[in-house]
Structure 1
Amino acid sequence: MLTPCLQLQAPCEKWAALLTDDRLRQQLCDRRMEKLKTVTAKTTAVKLQQWLENVFELGKNALENGWQQFEALVSPPKPRAARGKGDVVGAIAPVIRLLEPHQIEQTRRHAAGVLGELGVGNPEVIDALTQLLHTARDEETRRQAALSLGKISPGHPQAGIRKARYLDFGMQLEGHSVALIVAIMPRSDDKLGVFLQVQPIEGRKLPPHLKLSVLSESGEIKREAETRSDEEGKGKDNLIQLQFSTASGTRFQVGVSVNEVRVTEEFIA
């Protein structure tokens, strides 16, 4: 049986020298980093309109592409005590009242999130969230209304959807596990609203100098956000995010990078 050194077709003394020579070790590290920077995964562009229609190409469904429902990957559901149908119906009316225009926007936004958990198939909740989409005073509230509408009435023409994908950076993140979150919402001007986030999966802080980028089809950076560091050089951000709108059919890329290593996903609006 061949010894490990013979299997590698190099004298043991040579490998011992590599372990002790800082210059050679750095060269090996540089070569490995260069390979990581230049390797491009052969992935199929994600068609975001199909997310809204809940349709995927044959053999290219969301799970095979690594995309999952946001709650399944980033926020696993916690066990809750079973509630009777009557209890749920009784709880809905007071929450709907919190959507009224005289309420502060934060209250309306929180109420919209609650209705996304309680109002599956309830026509009153669907109508209330649809109305909120037209009366909300800020984009955050409209986004929450659209996402909740997507949960309780999939396929609704004004519903939004949010999915997440685990990003594998190997050893680059020093034990951090992160997810790319993509939320999309139809707009009244026939464009598609796109909201991007990077979050840690385990609830830890993101590492410093991690970048989230929106790139054109040709690779030109259009928007970019970067995590910050504290006085000790550790990450201080729980998430980074970007948002924009784009015309139907537009191709773009989303990149997440750290230490000059980038994971890129391609999308068609």
Structure 2
Amino acid sequence: MLAVYAVDYYLRCMGFETNQEEEDNYNPWMQSLIDVADLKVKNIGKLECRPVLSNAEYLEIPPEVRTDRIGYVAVQLSESLKSATILGFTTQAVAKIPLSQLQSVDDLLDYLTDKEQAATVSLHQWIKGVVTEGWQTIDEILHPQQIEWMGCRSFSITRGKKIDLGLELNGLSVALIVTIAAENQSAIKNQDEVNILIQVSLPKDEYIPGANVYISEGLKVAVIDDKGEEVLDTTSRQNDNWIEVEFSAQFGEKFSIDVILGESKVRQEFVV
């Protein structure tokens, strides 16, 4: 726990947001069963914060934390447990690694910054033809019939991404579709206001033409501003094939899209 506190405090001082209170290491019963010390860094992933003794030569990583981690941070605790020193980090999910082979704390900050930037979709990069990793063209993610119904025009810049909302959808996914109309290309170039259309439907591989296959009733799409406030939302009704919300944003403005069903929520960050 002290190792987690140390890394959490340091990252917050460096401007990163963490969700320490949500992690399993705050559950005493869970902690008694598995050797975990994870810290979630917002929009980036989980870091495993491993304590090491003053005379240790290796960072040891137990089997139960060798997946679902973006990195492993070595934290040396004093014998009095009143101070802690972050020695470095590694991305290697191995049983143990020599402390001398760890990357530096400065490297950790650079690594997290790069991951944070990659997690935020830059819409003006789409204008330049750069497709964000994990996103697909409209033809790759939607059936032609869906494209016709939803008005996804060929002269728009449209990208889609499959989102898994887990058990709430009985294993099914939805497709998050983001469209920037062609006329907005000049707006981005001139750093003006841009119109954005957000749509959610079934992905191509789960859509059956001619069948009564609809998105789940009560599926909500919300637009979140850069202050974390919900400014716009829409919710699916019974027998909806898709839902959509349209809004405008200034060049350089950050916003998020939440896709919510029951207790499940997926957030995607954007910058215009």
User: Which TM-score applies when normalising by structure 2?
Assistant: 0.48
Larger relative contact order (Cα-Cα within 8 Å, sequence gap ≥ 6): 1
Q: Which structure features the higher share of helix residues?
A: 1
Of structures 1 and 2, the larger Rg is shown by 1
User: Which TM-score applies when normalising by structure 1?
Assistant: 0.49
Q: Which structure features the higher share of strand residues?
A: 2
